[in-house]
Amino acid sequence: MSAMSLRSLNLPGVGTKYEFETDKGDTVAIFFTKTGTIQMYTLQKGCKTPSAAEMTPVEARRLGNILTGAIIEADQESVEIAFSALADLRVTIHSFLIPKSITGRTIEDLQIRTKTGATVIAVCRHDRNIVNPAPTFVFENGDAALVIGESDQIKRFEREIMVD
Amino acid sequence: MEGIVLALFLCLILALITRYLSVPAIPFYILGGIVLGKAGLGLVTSDEISVFFSEMGLIFLLFFMGLGLKPERILANRSAVVTSGVIDLNVNMILGFVAAYLLGFSIIESIIVACAFYISSTAMAITSIIENRKLMLRESETVIWLMVFEDLILIIFLTLISAGNQNLIVFVAKILGVLAVLYVLALYGKEFLISILDRDDELPILFTFAAVLTTASFSMYLGIPETMMVIALGVAFATTDPDAFEQHARPFKDVFLIVFFVFFGVTIDFSGGMNWFVIMIICLLAIVSKLLSGVLTGIAIHGSALSGLEIWGNTISRGEFSIAIAVLYGSPLVGTTIAAMVIVTSIIGSFTAKYSSSIRRGIINFGRKKSPHYRIHAGR
């Protein structure tokens, strides 16, 4: 068993609790309460009173993204997912606001896959999501694209495609 | 009809204010009812509609309790749950009974008072633990399980007292029979139930409402009270998808239960005689006896009397179940006493729950300040 053993527990009427102890002996506990909020407690080794933060699901997801090491900017964010079982495979999903320079052009026409290796997996347009857009998909002003790839491919996408 | 609208409107305002101040709403709903009703301004009287709504409130409260009651969970945590549960039961039930009897209630009335005196408010305890960010404390876990144990005792109590003149063995056998039928239905109908609950039209909510009401209506034919029927339904449904049922039953529970609380207040009648002395003693003892059981539990489970203080802080409040007992079985005098106890303990309980950690720290610091003095004296 690793030093970081995760304990999960169902508390009647309250919700689910996840708790683990770090290598240094600090304790972190997360509670998903039935009221829909998420509470995170941290207890420093040797201390008796934990400190707590209460979060909405959206805030908790943001915190999760930060903890996975992803860069978070004001309107564009990315998540890096690591699969330790698959030879430590790491994929990054990044959101981009489509610049004026490429509105009106299609995915095929921009040669996104050939030039960068990254793939556009979804586009958000007027609060509607288009998942797995076809190569003939035309970008419009105000679109936000979700791009998946290795971090180098994402960087190349930013450099080659997102130019103004 | 105007009465219920007025009452609901008052509750809406009270809900807004209590939320804003983060104090429990239940005592204020009851107080609101008292002000509007017989004992107060006399603006609202209970009628057929309010009685029906109140009954729905009680039924959905107990259905919810059944849903949260998973016997296998209790078995998994047996030793700690049973130890704290038995301490809590003995201390509070006995103290409550003796006090009520000595204060002049009849034996039956004293049993009713004792049970209402014993059972803490699950809703208020859990809300205060979450809102005061105490989930990580080990004492909180003890309190959460204590609430489950109390629910079990309440079911046993309801069974015993609602058997009335019936043969107890036959009565229990009938209840177990109903439970077995519902269990089998839930087991074989599980996929059907889940397929209904997964839909996003009006069916899940309609189904939940109809299932609870239908089950309750069967009570007439079987000679089993509605309360037992809906608890059994909850326990059986808990084997399918309890979270979905909770989600669909919650709107009914929330609204009807508020009607239940406010009309409990409306029907309170002081003309039947009110003994302030009796009420004061019961309220005071209700707080002291939970301190006693809390400290004993703290020592038994956590090896610390101070832990007991934390348990005490979160279990003082009596609430929904005490009122349910008063409504189901209480005479007017018992009802008034329980109402007062709920109001006083839940308001005090909200403060003790908020400040229990500070109280605890205060005692530790006080102890530290004292000890050097002691040493100086000893050194002389």
Task: Give tens-digit pLDDT for A79-123.
Answer: 777 776 777 778 888 888 888 888 888 888 888 888 899 999 999
Residues A91, A28 share a domain:
no
pLDDT tens-digit map of B188-218: 988 888 888 888 888 999 999 999 999 999 8
Give me the CATH number covering residue A130: 3.30.70.1450
pLDDT at site B3: 85
pLDDT at site A1: 41
> The complex's ipTM?
0.77
Domain contains B29? no
pLDDT tens-digit map of B266-290: 988 876 666 788 889 999 999 999 9
Give me the CATH number covering residue B306: 1.20.1530
pLDDT at A3 over 60: no
Closest to B313 in 3D by CA, of B282, B365, B377, B356: B356
Domain contains A1? no
> Phi-psi region for residue B133, left (φ > 0), alpha (ψ -120 to 50) or beta?
left
How many domains does one find in chain B? 1
Q: How many Cβ contacts (< 8 angstroms) between chains A and B?
A: 47
How many domains does one find in chain A? 2
Q: Which two tokens stand for residue B195?
A: 């397929």
Residues A126, A82 share a domain:
yes
Residues A139, A103 share a domain:
yes
For B3, what's the count of Cα atoms within 13 Å in the CB-facing half-sphere? 22
pLDDT at site B272: 61
Report the residue of A14, A19, A44, A55 to disrupt the B interface, i.e. the one with the largest count of B CBs within 10 Å.
A14
Q: For residue A2, what are the contacts with CB-CB under 8 A and spacing of at least 6? A: none
Measured CA distances, B57 to A19, B1, B277 (Å): 36, 18, 32
- Read off the pLDDT band of B167 (50, 70, 90): confident
pLDDT at A2 over 50: no
pLDDT tens-digit map of A143-159: 888 899 988 888 888 88
Residues A84, A46 share a domain:
no
Residues of A in contact with B73 (CB under 8 A): 10, 12
Residues of B in contact with A14 (CB under 8 A): 126, 129-130, 135, 144
Domain contains A70? no
Q: Do A41 and B135 touch (CB under 8 A)?
A: yes
Domain contains B282? no
Domain extent at residue B116: 60-251+289-338+348-379
Residues A43, A92 share a domain:
no
Domain contains A73? no
* Overall average pLDDT of the B73-85 stretch: 78
- Read off the pLDDT band of B380 (50, 70, 90): very low
Residues A82, A151 share a domain:
yes
Domain extent at residue A138: 78-160
SS3 B39: coil
A30 touches chain B (CB under 8 A): no
SS3 A25: coil
Residues A151, A82 share a domain:
yes
Q: Do A13 and B130 touch (CB under 8 A)?
A: no
Domain contains A130? yes
pLDDT at B90 over 90: yes
Cβ(B346)–Cβ(B315) below 8 Å: no
Domain contains B275? no
Q: Do A12 and B148 touch (CB under 8 A)?
A: yes
- Read off the pLDDT band of B370 (50, 70, 90): low
Domain contains B54? no
- Read off the pLDDT band of B375 (50, 70, 90): very low
* Overall average pLDDT of the B142-154 stretch: 90
Residues A87, A155 share a domain:
yes
The values of phi and psi at residue A42, to 5°, are: -125, 140
Domain contains A69? no
* Overall average pLDDT of the A7-23 stretch: 86
Residues A82, A44 share a domain:
no
Task: Count CB neighbours of A58 within 10 A.
Answer: 8
Q: What share of chain B is helix, strand, coil (3-state, %, to 5)?
A: 85, 0, 15
Q: Do A54 and B133 touch (CB under 8 A)?
A: yes
Closest to A116 in 3D by CA, of A160, A76, A74: A160
